[in-house]
Each structure stands twice: as C-alpha cells, then as structure tokens.
C-alpha cells in the first residue's frame, strides 16, 4: 500500500479555496505508479485509449441534478463510454473550524479518514481498498473537507460499502493515529526549511492576524501533539452532516442507480451541521517582512486581501489576475520581471475565493541581490492596474484563455467531480460549468477597469522575502513568533 502525499501549492488558495491551501491529499492506491496502474487494474491498452478520449469529452457533457429517494441532491455528468465512475463529496468545515490550540485538526482528520472503519483496523481496511484497485482521496481545506472515490463499474458496490463504513463507523485507533501524527510532524519539519512555505506562512500571518486564514492548515508541533482520537471523532461528528454536504458523480452510472448509491453512503447522516460561520478578515494595511536564509535563490511572496465580491466582480477579478500574473507567458509581470529583465525564472499570481472574501497572491524566485528591483516592478504593475486597468485586447485575450484553461482543467474525472462539489457547496446552480464561457464573455473591459480602479492595491500590498540580500533577523525566531498561540478575536 502506498500513501502518496500530493502537495498542493504552499500558498493560501481557496479551492480555489486553499489547499490549495493546502491540506494534503491522501491517495490510497496499489503500490505502483499511476502510469502503471492502468496496465494492472484496467487490464487493456484499448481501455486506456478509450479512457483518454472519454475524459477529453466528459467535461463538455451537460450536468444534471439528481434527487435521491431520500432527498439528497447530486450533480451528475453521465458518461457510459468507459466502465469508470468517480464520486465526489464535500463537507463544509475545514481548517477554519479548528479550535484554538488544536490547529491541524481538520488536516489530521482527513489523513485518518481511511485509517480503519467498522470492525476493520487500518491495515485490513486499506487492504480491502487495495484489492479493488480503487482510488480514494480526502483532503482538508480552509472551509471544507473534500473527497473522491474513483472505481471500475464492476467494483462499484464493494467500493460503496467500504466508503459507507468510513463515513458512518470511523475509527481512530492509537497505532494508526500515532503513525499519521508522525507523518504530519515530518511534513511540518520539511515545511520549516522550505523558503516558499516560510514566505507564505509569514504572508498569511501578516495579512490575516488572528483570522483562521492565518493559521497553518497542517498545524504546528505543539498543536498536533494535543490532538487525540476523541478530538478527531468529535470533529467528524460536527462537520460530516447532510446540512453541509455537496455531492457529485462523473462517469458510468444512471441517475436512478446514483440516487440509491448516495443514499447508502450519506442519507443516514445527521441533518444539522455545527459549522461556525467564518467572519470576514479585517483589511490589512501594506506591510513587508524580510527573513534571512542562506540560499542560492531568494523567495518572494506578495498579495492583497480583497473583500467579498459579487459574481460579476469575481469574474472581473479573474480576468484582471490573468492580465497581471495569471498567464504563464504573456502576463504583465512575466514580461517585465522575467522576459525583459531576467530577474526571475517564473512569476505568477492566483485569485482565490472564500465564502467570506477573496485574495490575490503571487510569488517568484530571484537572485538575492536582484530582489529589490523585481519587487519594484511588481509595485509598478499594481500601480498601473490601479490607474489604467487592462487594455481591451488584454481583457479579450484573458477571456479566451481562461475559458479554455477552465475546461482543460476538468478533463479528468476527479478534477471534474471536485469542481462540481465545490460549486454546489458555494450555492451555484447545476449549469455552472455549462454556462461558464457565456458568463465570462459577458464581462466588458470597462467592468474590469472599473474593478481595478476600485481597490487600493498598493495601500494593502503585503510583501515577504526569504533569503534576500541583507535581510535582518532570524527565520527561526520569526517562525516561532508566527506559530505562537494567537490572541483571541474580540
């Protein structure tokens, strides 16, 4: 059995939601590389070729909403071209619900999700999954715990039974918990020496203070040490309810069969959840932190916390982000910092959405003695956007590119299932993906420019450097300060 901890980008990230931010993905799969799994599990090269063409068209199929016999709503993209099914589930909650002093609880609960269930301890339960050749994932994010099950149609009923065991009769046995705890602590230790993670952690603390976004999703040594089996089981009982549940399915299943399956797994959950609303963070003034580290390349993280935006404003923000740094080769930052001056190997920005607000963050690596010049160019581009906004041609390029990027990102069943559960959890309608390009096209360049001019970008820009030439202070001392127990919000 192989546990592949697939690291998301260190930043903050919504789902967009962090986990981006963040929260690792636990994949339970046969102990072979993904490329080889098709040969052993799906059995034939012909099926692999069929799968490729199936997934290339799946994201374009219509999404329908299915209501199960017991009243559960599921978004379905039905496709019978190949005998594969992916189920997606998303519980409201996530690391924002971690109690003070127990940061990392949601992450630890996600890592423990498949570590035994019912009358089976971890090894026996995981072996049952291994025999099916199924792929199951669970990861904690800021506002959710999300998971997927990908399985061959012939093994669907067995997989559903195993998933139902994990949902309804979880275990948190001491041996399994200590093993997972050691893995998480090793993860924290690796992060403590990673310049990019240090930079993003510092950025989050400086920007969000005592807000849940400031806390490390993986927790700290001190907080992980305090979490016990009772904490994990309590977290699951409070967050894993029908009230905060979003469900999706992609692949080889009919609406009738899907309704019966989701009822078996989820219908008996409590209706009411106990998830606390996450407050909007207080706007942060512009700030900067320079942390020392001996490294060939300095790491820089920058960003701006944004207020809650309307649906059209979010679309405008995404177009603006693409123009600023979202395009890998044509963005303003790429051209100014990388192409024209060679100050970074790569530079980019992302736009993330939460229920309580939004943020735009970016990062780049640079030679320690060229960091100041590169940061100056970043500030200049923010100032240009604030005063002028993007040109018509830039907006139209962003529209076309983002529409294609969005659909290409949904080619694989798991990515599509995750997107469906995310949008259902956000309260969108089932035609969200189908109408994406149309809604994007309706945003005018004037709207994007008006949005760009509406926010005090430079007045809120937070910048963090790690390893820049002449940076004062101590990384160890700074991380100790950042991970100290936070003051209570009034």
* Phi, psi angle pair for 114, to nearest 5°: -110, 20
Q: Is residue 206 part of a domain?
A: yes
3-class DSSP state of 89: strand
Q: Are 293 and 425 found together in one domain?
A: yes
Residues 455 and 376 placed together within one structural domain of the fold: yes
- Record the tokens describing residue 56, joined without a space: 């290339």
Of 103, 149, 107, 155, nearest to 131 by C-alpha is: 155
- Dihedral, 267, 268, 273, 274 alpha carbons, nearest 10: -160
Q: What is the CATH number of the domain that holds 140?
A: 3.30.830.10
Residue 132 contacts residue 159 (beta carbons within 8 Å): yes
Q: Say if residue 233 is in the same domain as residue 306.
A: no
| Helix 174-191 with 122-132: angle, nearest 10 deg | 80
The answer as to whether 12 is a domain residue is: yes
My answer on whether 253 and 321 are in the same domain is no
First and final CA of the chain: distance in angstroms?
Answer: 47
274 occurs within a structural domain: no
**Do 158 and 231 share a domain, yes or no?**
yes
Shared-domain flag, residues 384 and 470: yes
∠ CA(347), CA(350), CA(354), 5° rounding? Answer: 160
Q: Do 14 and 136 sit in the same domain of this protein?
A: yes
Please state, in angstroms and as integers, the Cα–Cα distance from residue 340 to each residue in 66, 267, 333, 343, 363, following that order: 52, 58, 10, 9, 18
Distance between CA atoms of residues 129 and 266, nearest Å = 19
Any domain includes 62: yes
138 and 249 fall within a common domain? yes
Looking at the structure, tell me whether residues 197 and 314 fall in a common domain. Answer: no
Per-residue pLDDT of the chain (490 residues; tens, 9 = 90+): 223 222 233 333 345 544 433 322 233 332 222 222 222 333 333 333 333 334 444 445 799 999 999 999 999 999 999 999 999 999 999 999 999 999 999 999 999 999 999 999 999 999 999 999 899 999 999 999 999 999 999 999 999 999 999 999 999 999 999 999 999 999 999 999 999 999 999 999 999 999 999 999 999 999 999 999 999 999 999 999 999 999 999 999 999 999 999 999 999 999 998 899 999 999 889 999 999 998 889 999 999 999 999 999 999 999 999 999 999 899 999 999 999 999 998 999 999 999 999 999 999 999 999 999 999 999 999 999 999 999 999 999 999 999 999 988 898 999 999 999 999 999 999 999 989 889 999 999 999 999 999 999 999 999 999 999 865 443 443 444 444 444 443 3
Rounded distance, CA 5 to CA 145, Å? Answer: 16
279 is a domain residue:
no
**How far, rounded to the nearest angstrom, does the alpha carbon of residue 238 sit from its chain's CA centroid?**
21
Query: Distance between CA 303 and CA 211 in Å, rounded?
Result: 16
**Within-domain flag for 300:** yes
Same domain, 302 and 367: yes
Quick check: is 384 in a domain? yes
Q: Which residue range forms the structural domain that includes residue 222?
A: 2-266
**Whole-number Å distance between alpha carbons of 97 and 241:** 14
Please classify residue 127 by burial: count the beta carbons closer than 10 Å to its beta carbon, then call 0-12 exposed, 13-18 middle and 19+ buried. Answer: exposed
If asked whether residues 148 and 116 sit together in one domain, one would say: yes
Query: Looking at the structure, do residues 333 and 219 belong to the same domain, yes or no?
Result: no
- Does residue 369 lie within any of the structural domains? yes
How many domains does one find in the chain? 2
């Amino acid at each position: 059995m192989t546990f592949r901890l697939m690291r998301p980008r260190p930043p903050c990230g919504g789902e967009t939601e962090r986990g981006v931010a963040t929260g690792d993905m636990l994949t339970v799969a046969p102990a072979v590389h993904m490329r080889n799994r098709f040969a052993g599990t799906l059995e034939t090269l012909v099926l692999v070729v069929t799968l490729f063409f199936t997934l290339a068209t799946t994201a374009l199929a219509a999404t329908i909403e299915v209501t199960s016999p017991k009243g559960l709503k599921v978004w379905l993209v039905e496709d019978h071209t190949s005998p594969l099914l992916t189920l997606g589930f998303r519980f409201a909650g996530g690391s924002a619900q971690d109690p003070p002093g127990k940061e990392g609880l949601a992450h630890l609960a996600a890592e423990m999700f498949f570590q035994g269930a019912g009358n089976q301890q971890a090894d026996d339960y995981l072996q049952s999954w291994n025999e099916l050749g199924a792929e199951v994932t669970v990861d904690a994010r800021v506002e959710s715990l999300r998971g997927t099950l990908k399985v061959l149609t012939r093994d669907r009923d067995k997989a559903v039974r195993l998933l139902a065991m994990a949902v309804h009769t979880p275990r948190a046995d001491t041996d399994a918990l200590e093993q997972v705890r050691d893995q998480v602590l090793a993860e924290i230790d690796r992060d403590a020496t990673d310049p990019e993670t240090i930079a993003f952690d510092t950025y989050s603390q400086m920007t969000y203070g005592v807000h849940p976004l400031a806390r490390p999703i993986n927790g700290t040594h001190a907080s992980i040490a305090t979490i016990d089996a009772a904490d994990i089981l309590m977290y699951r009982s409070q967050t894993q309810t029908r009230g905060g549940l979003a469900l999706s399915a992609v692949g080889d299943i009919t609406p009738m069969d899907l309704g019966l399956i989701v009822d078996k797994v989820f219908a008996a959950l409590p209706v009411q959840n106990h998830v606390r609303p996450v407050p909007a963070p207080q706007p942060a003034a512009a700030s900067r932190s320079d942390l020392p580290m001996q490294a060939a390349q300095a790491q820089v993280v920058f960003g701006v916390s944004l207020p809650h935006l309307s649906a059209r404003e979010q679309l405008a923000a995404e177009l603006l982000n693409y123009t600023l740094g979202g395009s890998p080769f044509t963005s303003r930052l790429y051209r100014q910092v990388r192409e024209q001056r060679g100050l970074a190997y790569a530079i980019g920005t992302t736009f993330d959405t939460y229920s309580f607000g939004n943020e735009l963050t970016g990062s780049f690596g640079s030679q320690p003695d060229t960091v100041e010049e590169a940061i100056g160019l970043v500030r200049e581009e923010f100032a240009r956007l604030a005063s002028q906004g993007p040109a018509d041609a830039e907006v139209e390029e962003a529209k076309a590119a983002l529409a294609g990027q969005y659909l290409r990102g949904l080619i694989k069943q798991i990515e599509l299932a995750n997107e469906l559960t995310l949008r259902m959890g956000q309260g969108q309608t089932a035609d969200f993906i189908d109408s994406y390009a149309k809604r994007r096209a309706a945003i005018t360049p004037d709207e994007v420019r008006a949005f760009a001019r509406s926010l005090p970008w430079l007045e809120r820009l937070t910048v963090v450097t790690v390893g820049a030439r002449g940076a004062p202070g101590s990384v160890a001392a700074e991380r100790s300060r950042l991970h100290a127990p936070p003051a209570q919000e009034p």
